[in-house]
Structure 1
Amino acid sequence: MSVVGIDVGFQNCYIAVARSGGIETIANEYSDRCTPACVSLASKNRMIGNAAKSQIITNFKNTVHGFKKFHGRAFDDPFIQAEKPKLPYSLHKLANGNTGIKVRYLDEDKAFTVEQITGMLLTKLKETSESALKKPVVDCVISVPSFFTDAERRSVFDATQIAGLNCLRLINDTTAVALAYGIYKQDLPTPEERPRNVVFVDMGHSSFQVSITAFNKGKLKVLATAFDLYLGGRNFDETLVDYFCEEFKGKYKLNVRDNPRALLRLHQECEKLKKLMSANSSDLPLNIECFMNDIDVSSRMNRMQFEDMCAQYLMRVEMPLKAALEQSKLSRDDIYGVEIVGGATRMPAIKERIAKFFGKDISTTLNADEAVARGCALQCAILSPAFKVREFSITDVVPFPITLRWKSPTEDGLGECEVFSKNHAAPFSKVITFHKKEPFDLEAFYSCPQELPYPDHRIGCFSVHNVVPQPDGDSSKVKVKVRVNVHGIFSVSSASLIEKQKGEGEDMQIDSEPMVQNEGRGEEQFLWCYCIFVCFSSQRQMIIQDKLVKELNDAKNAVEEYVYDLRDKLCGMYEKYVTEEDSNRLTLMLEDTENWLYEDGEDQPKQVYEEKLEGLKDERYLHLVAEEMNTVEKCVNESMGWMNSKMNAQSKFAITQDPVVKVADIIAKIQELENVCNPVINRPKPTVEEAPEVNDQNSGAHNGPTAKQAAEGKGDVKGSQQTKPGTKEMEVD
């Protein structure tokens, strides 16, 4: 069993695996270490990753990308409504009010949930891991932005289950980076010494995250986090796109925004130009052939001009840095170092502002693209029992304060208490003692809606049942356990009633059936499990469909490859050994097959292509079984090896010395080769005789197929294959 860490980014994904030799980033089937977060659906199958990215222009309505921020969000969410006009594909309001993605798949209009699309992507990443490791992959740790709320984290976790993964932890991006940084440091201060404080800055394609982390030997503790949800590399791309849209409108009379394909191409070219400007300060060209209406477009841009255009975004870089520093209650002098990761941090202007704010040089010792995935893999290895890894404890934080509100049916007014403050340690459990005479309800919500990057501040509602007064009529003590778990998800995990035992003055906790449940939990739990099961089953069916299409394409490609290969050999290595008549016959046969492939054979069943390939191949040896051919091949290889060894040895001898091999040895070896090979390769094909017609009255019962049936493969019966945190107590009246 292998364990992997997955960085699911807005634009690209990375997979890292823990091996005995350390952490390794896995390459996909394209030998690329990054896999685009892209899913393309078509009339017969799906394409995911690199193959899907190649469809962004040609199949833009059904190629889904940039969906990471749709997790857990309602369709009417202002953020979703703001994103809709920018997307080449369609969003759809689902029955439960959530955001769905509408595409055409298998010639039908279908709406997929964000969890399903993410599940498709995770399934692809899982297959990539298994292909590279040659073993099953189940356990994983997956990264999420530090600002993800409870609903968003639950949505990502559901996607992992649809993909058949066992997610051991959802870890914050910057926390994963901190782990990748700290676990290999041998010079960290001991627990008794003053910790080493390091700032981690992660600016990716869609967001900007900052965390300040304190390190001691064998542990890290996140002190504070801050973010800008809407600041990332794509802001700078869109600035370039806006500029060139206006320029091309005046220069070429082209309205780029009216043409989705042209707009997507411009986005791609602007992203390339931005990367080039990060490494070059001179004027750089932008050229796109046949951009719109068969018109070629061109322009120029330099770094200084670009930075002036992006001034409004560059000014926002300091705000999260300042917020994190203030929350950590540290000064700039307390900061040991600043580590930056994420593709957008390669921009010189971003680096300059970060370095200027902290008054020290920034460090780029971590891989800007792969650090998050590597940290995820390390955390997965630590959590998995299959690996023995140096102990390294992680204490993260609660990004937003959480309040618990309660009410009893007969009580007037509401009570509430902030159970987790901003930047409170996590994972963490607390036990709250209530004094109640009857069942009551609990509501959890984020305390500061105005600071929340999410429109709904509610987390969940919970009901505490079976609460009764004490025998003497006094209120009973009810202990309720609340928790933020390793995934950063809040829950009311348990509730228990404390009552006085008769005749004794001590309290005793009564362990009984769970007294707490999520509001409507029975039905909701059933529906949730059912939905996950349906999505998982649908995912399996889509995988099977993809596999069938791949096998069909492979069979078709095998015919095409054979045609091209034999044609090359007829004009090359076989030319001297083939008569003109045979060459013309074979060439004509190959031309007919090629024409068939692009006409009637364009869309045929797999079996048709297999039969076509068999018809093309030389039939002289088709009657030989595989074992016989292997015997011949082995004998030929051994004889070739014997000959080469003798020739090598002879080359070292002078011509006056006795040879290492004599004519008799060569003749004996030839005879040995012929004795093995000739009986096989010279055995003629079995002749097929027409069976005499026999009246049914005289024929009797047949015990098997006739000779003709046997030769044609009729009458055969062929088998088939199926295919640990701290705890606090709080007392509330």
Structure 2
Amino acid sequence: MNYKNTFTNFTQLLGKSPTDFAVAKEKRHLTHAVECRDGRVSFPVVLNGVSTSFIPEQVLAIQLNKLKEITECAIGSKVVDVVINVPTYYTDAERRSVLDASKIAGLNCVKLVNDLTAVGTAYGFYSTDLPPVDRPPKVVCFVSVGYSTTQISICAFNTGKMKVLATVCDAFLGGRDFDRKLFDKFASDFQQQYKIKEPLSVKATIRLLQECEKLKKAMSANSSELPINVECLAEERDLANKMKRTDFEEMCSDLVQRFQDLLTRCLDTAKLKAEDVHSVELIGGSSRIPMLKNAILSVFKQEGRTSLNADEAVARGCAFQAAICSPAFKVRDFSVVEPCLYPIVLQVDREEGGDQCMQTEEIDGAVAIQSKDMCIEVFPHLHPIPSSRQIVLSRRGILTLEARYADKDALPNQNVSIGTFKIGNPSETFTEPRKIRLKVRMNTHGIFNISQAQLVEEYEKEVEVTVPEDGPKADGSGNAKAEVNAPSNGDVGNQQPAEVNSESTPNAEPDSTSPKKKTVTKKKFTKYHDLSIDVNNMQLSTKQLNEFCEVEANLIQQDKMERERVNAKNAVEEYVYDIRSKIQGPLSPFLTPAESESLLRMLDATEEWLYGEGEEVTRQVYVEKLTELKSKSDPVVHRANEHLNRPMIVENFNRSIMHIKKVLDSLSAGEPTYDHLTPEQVSQLKEMIVQYEGWLHQQMTQQNSRPQTADPVVKVSEIMSQQKAFESTCHPIINTPKPAPPTQTDGPATQNSDQSNNMNNNTKEDNNPKTCHSNKNAKNEENMDLD
């Protein structure tokens, strides 16, 4: 294993800075180095002999490209739009990193789906016993214990509907932590036994961890004492030890307690009791560990179920989500309501002398919060997403906000900052505070963003209104309330216009005789001007994305060239083995001893070259080497093929000649089949037989006198060509159709036939009385005199 150039667990480092404590915790599980590059984690590698580095987003893009290649080969079409699953605990920065990776891979991610949301989708689609919407929901807990993480979610199901009630996660609790417990125990015993002070090497660590994982799986199915053996682990010493399941469970008691605390916290967050949960579904490879199953039994008072595919449930759920998002598929309605896992606040920089009041509204207009503090919670814990809210602030100049996570302890890392947003043009300032309206949104990916910023401009404008003569008096001054005509410049009024007090019915015509008056009144209007938003977060810039896309394209091209090079090398190696076996087998009669020795010597030299100097040469060199080998061996192969195919081709030619001879024999015997052929045609057939039969006999006589090691006198292709020429001349002659028989002149036979026809006609008329009667009437009419 080339561990220095092999990336593992890179998804745990997406969107993180090198100083994050999560990176430090993850390093102990990594076999490759970790560096800092432009404020991001990067992995140094050696690629084609050149030292370079990749950030986790690039590595994920490489993996996505491979998955895209596999999928395109399976479905036979291009893949562009995808749904990608992410761990439920991913923060804003990590989710943006996944989107960046999909862009680098040339994919359009239509949705990021949380792992447990995908599992719930697969469960809801397949379940047929869900209660209707007007009944209490079916509550199911999903427990996912993977290689490095644990995720637990409680969901409520109704027909066509799923709501996530609570989700808790531990990004640093998984199957590898149980492997590490075994590793620490066996490594410590091994070092004490052989007095080894230095820690195990990376390769030894990988080998021992692999054996520990195998032992863990074996103990999950067997409670007896099981052995573990690793040969030449360090200093040519072998590791040999044993472990019981009870001892293993005692070693991992702290991990089990962490897992049990997660289960209890999930119930508390959902405000449910254990008896409220209908069932517990287990997914993930590490969910098969017996001690974790016992913890589930102790908390939920029921055993976990395995009705879902533990390894494919997330993929199935993503497939359903992709079908829901795609217009090409029609699926039954299934809505998903997810909560905001971490509360988000907006922190606003203070402005001297400005009105710091903020007002938050839902999109439907209902006021939710009013605060004079400079930090406001816009999306509280478990707030449904996707969701949008509006915020109105007062500001003279540029507005700077920072979106942050409110609960630092709930995060899987220390990065509480989501991003900073600068709103407005720095060159524009106002003497008086102006209102700014912001639209903040948690989108379907679970990503926070300020999607819109507008400057609110309020002003008064004189509007001319028409007041009827008999309009009602609004007050003692005699001013009447009238309907205000909406201006045509797109301005929005702040209040509803008063209705005209009219007694008219809908179909009544206006009274043209009543006098009307016009008056001018002032009305308040509001205009909204879009403001620029400058965002600073962990997402890659357009320039960086373009650079990484170019690097990815170069890597794909290099992979393609390498595949072609390896295929060319394999072709040379395969040809060497194939021809060598044939020279010593079916090709040996067609080779002289000198030719055989020369070819075998060349093949041996080529094989030695392949595993020596020719190990890493270019594709063109392999192509030239294969061409050189074929130039020496193809004549021998050609002789063998000619010898193998010649008898059948000659037999076909002789059969064709014999067929024409039989035609001539039938003519000589006086048979009428071909008696229509002219003497010229018969003469031409005889000439063709003499010409081509003589040529074939001459060529076969010369060929049979030559040894098999010599090149053939005549090729199979030449014989086939001569046969085609022979048949193209003779077959049109013998297939000439016979002429039609001559037409006979009128004679006794014709007269007899006419008489018989007349007799038949008379018989028909006699048998048909209607016909006879009509004929008589016709004769009578002919004899009648007309005036």
Match of 2:443 among 459, 475, 485: 485
Change (3 A) 1:450 1:155: same
Change (3 A) 1:454 1:565: same
Report the secondary structure of 2:280's partner residue: strand
**What does the per-residue CA deviation read over 1:292-319, in whole Å, with 9 as the maximum and x for residues that have no partner?**
3333332222322211211111111111
Change (3 A) 1:582 1:99: same
Work out whether residues 200 and 234 of structure 2, in 8 Å CA contact, stay in contact via their aligned partners in 1.
no
> Aligned partners of 1:315 and 1:612: how far apart in 2?
65
Partner AA of 1:235 in structure 2 = D
Work out whether residues 555 and 606 of structure 1, in 8 Å CA contact, stay in contact via their aligned partners in 2.
yes
Instruction: Give the Å deviation of 1:245.
Output: 0.6
Match of 1:434 among 369, 379, 393: 393
Instruction: Give the Å deviation of 1:564.
Output: 2.1
**What does the per-residue CA deviation read over 1:571-617, in whole Å, with 9 as the maximum and x for residues that have no partner?**
56667887766654443332222112122322322122112223333
> Aligned partners of 1:619 and 1:252: how far apart in 2?
63
Whether 2:188 is the aligned partner of 1:246: answer yes
Change (3 A) 1:73 1:301: same
Report the secondary structure of 2:7's partner residue: strand
Report the secondary structure of 1:65's partner residue: coil
Change (3 A) 1:680 1:73: farther
Partner AA of 1:613 in structure 2 = L
- Within a 5 Å distance, the mapping from 1:367-516 to structure 2 comes to 367-411=309-353, 414-436=373-395, 439-465=398-424, 477-498=435-456, 499-500=458-459, 502-503=461-462, 506=495, 510-512=527-529, 514-516=530-532
Match of 1:551 among 557, 564, 586: 564
Instruction: Give the Å deviation of 1:84.
Output: 3.1
2:14 matched residue in structure 1: 71
Instruction: Give the Å deviation of 1:112.
Output: 1.6
> Aligned partners of 1:328 and 1:555: how far apart in 2?
61
> Aligned partners of 2:272 and 2:379: how far apart in 1?
21
**What does the per-residue CA deviation read over 1:7-60, in whole Å, with 9 as the maximum and x for residues that have no partner?**
xxxxxxxxxxxxxxxxxxxxxxxxxxxxxxxxxxxxxxxxxxxxxxxx3xxx22
**What does the per-residue CA deviation read over 1:519-578, in whole Å, with 9 as the maximum and x for residues that have no partner?**
569xx99x7000000000001001111211221111111111222233344556667887
> Aligned partners of 1:126 and 1:266: how far apart in 2?
34
Match of 1:620 among 635, 650, 656: 635
Work out whether residues 461 and 525 of structure 2, in 8 Å CA contact, stay in contact via their aligned partners in 1.
no
Work out whether residues 494 and 525 of structure 2, in 8 Å CA contact, stay in contact via their aligned partners in 1.
no
Partner AA of 1:545 in structure 2 = Q
2:114 matched residue in structure 1: 172
Bigger mean CA deviation after superposition, 586-595 or 70-79: 586-595
Report the secondary structure of 1:612's partner residue: helix
Work out whether residues 285 and 299 of structure 1, in 8 Å CA contact, stay in contact via their aligned partners in 2.
yes
Q: Which has the higher contact order (CA 8 A, sep 6+)?
A: 1
Match of 1:611 among 624, 630, 634: 624
> Aligned partners of 1:505 and 1:106: how far apart in 2?
68
> Aligned partners of 1:557 and 1:467: how far apart in 2?
65
Change (3 A) 1:571 1:194: farther
**What does the per-residue CA deviation read over 1:109-143, in whole Å, with 9 as the maximum and x for residues that have no partner?**
21221111111111111112112222111111111
Report the secondary structure of 1:399's partner residue: coil
1:149 matched residue in structure 2: 91
Instruction: Give the Å deviation of 1:175.
Output: 0.7
**What does the per-residue CA deviation read over 1:319-363, in whole Å, with 9 as the maximum and x for residues that have no partner?**
111111111112222211111111110111111211221111211
Partner AA of 2:122 in structure 1 = A
Q: How many residues align?
A: 578
> Aligned partners of 1:68 and 1:239: how far apart in 2?
23
> Aligned partners of 2:153 and 2:132: how far apart in 1?
22
Instruction: Give the Å deviation of 1:456.
Output: 2.1
Work out whether residues 140 and 377 of structure 1, in 8 Å CA contact, stay in contact via their aligned partners in 2.
no
Report the secondary structure of 2:151's partner residue: strand
> Aligned partners of 1:403 and 1:306: how far apart in 2?
44
> Aligned partners of 1:467 and 1:103: how far apart in 2?
44
Whether 2:172 is the aligned partner of 1:237: answer no
**What does the per-residue CA deviation read over 1:132-161, in whole Å, with 9 as the maximum and x for residues that have no partner?**
222111111111111111111111111111
Work out whether residues 142 and 171 of structure 1, in 8 Å CA contact, stay in contact via their aligned partners in 2.
yes
Match of 1:222 among 147, 158, 164: 164
Match of 2:234 among 289, 292, 298: 292
Change (3 A) 1:68 1:467: closer
**What does the per-residue CA deviation read over 1:45-94, in whole Å, with 9 as the maximum and x for residues that have no partner?**
xxxxxxxxxx3xxx222221111111111111122233335433111111
> Aligned partners of 1:299 and 1:576: how far apart in 2?
63
Report the secondary structure of 1:90's partner residue: coil
**Structure 1 residue ranges without an equivalent (≥5):** 1-54, 640-670, 684-733
**What does the per-residue CA deviation read over 1:481-533, in whole Å, with 9 as the maximum and x for residues that have no partner?**
11111111101111234435524653755343x32513569xx99x7000000
From the CA coordinates, give the structure whose radius of gyration is larger: 2
**What does the per-residue CA deviation read over 1:248-297, in whole Å, with 9 as the maximum and x for residues that have no partner?**
11233445734111111111121122122222222222222233333333
Change (3 A) 1:584 1:379: same
Work out whether residues 343 and 405 of structure 2, in 8 Å CA contact, stay in contact via their aligned partners in 1.
yes
Match of 1:322 among 242, 264, 273: 264
> Aligned partners of 2:10 and 2:67: how far apart in 1?
16
Partner AA of 1:539 in structure 2 = E
Whether 2:569 is the aligned partner of 1:561: answer no
**What does the per-residue CA deviation read over 1:700-727, in whole Å, with 9 as the maximum and x for residues that have no partner?**
xxxxxxxxxxxxxxxxxxxxxxxxxxxx
Whether 2:31 is the aligned partner of 1:88: answer yes
> Aligned partners of 1:80 and 1:532: how far apart in 2?
23
Partner AA of 1:98 in structure 2 = R
> Aligned partners of 1:275 and 1:411: how far apart in 2?
67
> Aligned partners of 2:719 and 2:331: how far apart in 1?
58
Bigger mean CA deviation after superposition, 133-142 or 613-622: 613-622
- Within a 5 Å distance, the mapping from 1:341-380 to structure 2 comes to 341-380=283-322
Report the secondary structure of 1:419's partner residue: strand
Change (3 A) 1:508 1:487: farther
How much is the aligned-residue C-alpha RMSD, in angstroms? Answer: 3.3
Change (3 A) 1:180 1:577: farther
Report the secondary structure of 1:188's partner residue: coil
> Aligned partners of 1:567 and 1:159: how far apart in 2?
49
**Structure 2 residue ranges without an equivalent (≥5):** 357-372, 463-492, 496-523, 653-695, 701-713, 722-787
Q: Give me the TM-score of the superposition, normalised by structure 2.
A: 0.68
Match of 1:190 among 132, 137, 152: 132
Instruction: Give the Å deviation of 1:176.
Output: 0.8
1:517 matched residue in structure 2: 533
> Aligned partners of 1:604 and 1:333: how far apart in 2?
69
> Aligned partners of 1:409 and 1:340: how far apart in 2?
53
2:552 matched residue in structure 1: 539
Q: Give me the TM-score of the superposition, normalised by structure 1.
A: 0.73
- Within a 5 Å distance, the mapping from 1:600-679 to structure 2 comes to 600-617=613-630, 618-620=633-635, 678-679=716-717
Report the secondary structure of 2:265's partner residue: helix
**What does the per-residue CA deviation read over 1:614-637, in whole Å, with 9 as the maximum and x for residues that have no partner?**
33334239999xxxx9xx99x99x
Work out whether residues 165 and 339 of structure 2, in 8 Å CA contact, stay in contact via their aligned partners in 1.
yes
Percent identity between matched residues is 41
